[in-house]
């Protein structure tokens, strides 16, 4: 199975830690969002989209990129944020499914966050993602790659 993870990890590298752990264990290709626009994804069995969360959804560039994923693609989602919740994947999932992509699942965990007002208090979710959370991302990938 040939997989790739397109990632956007801009502030503290939280999301990249998840991506790197999966890539190391399963020999998954990774590509930053900046390089993804010029990449042909048709040869991949699974495509991962990984990003931080801003204003309740995936970073804007990742949301826009998701709109380009072709029908029939098998996609999984990874994210980190200061305060994880269930609603963060709704927008990107809706975009992917409306294009005919199949969303296999998602994994999200805390990530150190100093955006906006959180900077004034030294940030939230310090020390995240933890080793356990990173391992959780690897275990998530292990489960969905068998679908």
CATH of the domain at 96: 3.40.50.360
> Domain total for the chain?
1
Q: What residues make up the domain containing 47?
A: 3-144
pTM above threshold 0.85: yes
Exposure class string for 73-110: b at 16+ Cβ within 10 A, else e: bbbbbbbbbbebeeebbeebbebbeebebebbebbbbb
In the prediction, which pLDDT does 54 show? Answer: 85
Across the 147 residues of the chain, what is the mean pLDDT of every consecutive 10-residue run? 92 87 96 89 95 90 94 96 83 96 94 64 71 96 91
CB 5 within 8 A of CB 50: yes
């Amino acid at each position: 199975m040939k997989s790739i993870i397109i990632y956007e990890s801009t502030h503290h590298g939280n999301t990249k830690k998840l991506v790197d752990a999966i890539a190391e264990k399963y020999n998954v290709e990774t590509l930053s969002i900046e390089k993804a626009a010029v990449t042909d994804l048709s040869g991949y069995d699974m495509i991962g989209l990984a990003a931080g969360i801003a204003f309740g959804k995936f970073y804007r560039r990742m949301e826009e990129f998701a709109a380009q994923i072709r029908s029939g693609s098998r996609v999984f989602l990874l994210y980190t944020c200061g305060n994880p919740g269930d609603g963060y994947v709704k927008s990107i999932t809706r975009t992917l499914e409306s294009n005919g992509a199949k969303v296999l699942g998602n994994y999200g965990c805390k990530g150190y966050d100093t955006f906006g007002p959180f900077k004034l208090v030294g940030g939230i979710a310090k020390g995240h993602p933890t080793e356990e959370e990173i391992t959780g991302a690897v275990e998530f990938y292990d489960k969905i790659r068998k679908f």
